[in-house]
């Protein structure tokens, strides 16, 4: 009985995976947040390179020289024709070709409800109304002085992930009747 064995080495490549770098037009290699707008474009917030828009082929970049409050972007949120850009100096709103700036503590994340746009900052919770008013929300001294990492509304309660723990509230202001530290 004669038996032959052959060893054949094969390799596979994933042609779907593509890394984009500074060489491709990305303004900075550290991307902290990304959001897709209603048109399908990707918006990327970088740490030092500003804001990048990717249409599937190339990047378009906005930075402090174009009117952004800061090139250090921590969070993004898109609604209709507006892009909210949270940075280490507050936030900017990009509407078509205009940029509007609002100074505030570092913005860590956005949470939109039918009442307002809530901003999780390094120094408590802020709200931004449709009339263009930015307001610090006073809740409890421990929460107001905390870094709020993110806000989530589950339909009944607001959940605040902070550097002082996890909190559950029925409202995001001093009149909250249910405040629980988890």
Kindly report, residue by residue over 33-60, the tens digit of the pLDDT.
Answer: 999 999 899 999 999 999 999 998 899 9
How confident is the model over 57-89, as pLDDT tens digits? 899 999 999 999 999 999 999 998 899 999 999
Q: What is the mean pLDDT of residues 3-8?
A: 59
Is it the case that residue 161 has pLDDT exceeding 70? yes
3-state SS, residue 126: strand
Separation between Cα atoms, residue 110 and residue 98, nearest integer Å: 20
- Residue 5: the pLDDT is 58
Tell me how far apart the 2 most distant CA atoms of the chain are, in Å: 88
Q: What is the DSSP letter of 88?
A: T
Range among 8-12, 15-19, 63-67, 168-172 rated most confident? 63-67
pTM (2 d.p.): 0.84
Is it the case that residue 97 has pLDDT exceeding 90? no
Is it the case that residue 3 has pLDDT exceeding 70? no
């Amino acid at each position: 009985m004669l038996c032959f064995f052959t060893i054949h080495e094969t390799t596979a490549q994933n042609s779907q995976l593509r890394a984009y770098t500074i060489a491709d037009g990305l303004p900075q290699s550290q991307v902290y947040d990304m959001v897709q707008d209603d048109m399908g474009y990707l918006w990327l917030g970088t740490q030092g390179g500003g804001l990048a828009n990717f249409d599937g082929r190339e990047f378009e970049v906005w930075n402090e020289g174009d009117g952004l409050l800061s090139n250090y972007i921590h969070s993004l949120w898109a609604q209709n024709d507006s892009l909210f850009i949270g940075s280490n100096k507050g936030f900017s709103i990009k509407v078509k070709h205009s940029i509007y700036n609002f100074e505030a503590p570092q913005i860590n994340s956005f949470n939109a409800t039918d009442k307002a746009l809530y901003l999780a900052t390094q120094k408590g919770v802020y709200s931004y109304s449709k009339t263009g008013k930015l307001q610090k929300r006073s809740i409890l001294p421990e929460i107001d002085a905390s870094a709020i990492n993110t806000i989530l509304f589950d339909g009944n309660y607001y959940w605040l992930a902070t550097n002082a723990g996890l909190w559950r509230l029925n409202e995001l202001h001093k009149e909250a009747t249910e405040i629980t530290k988890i």
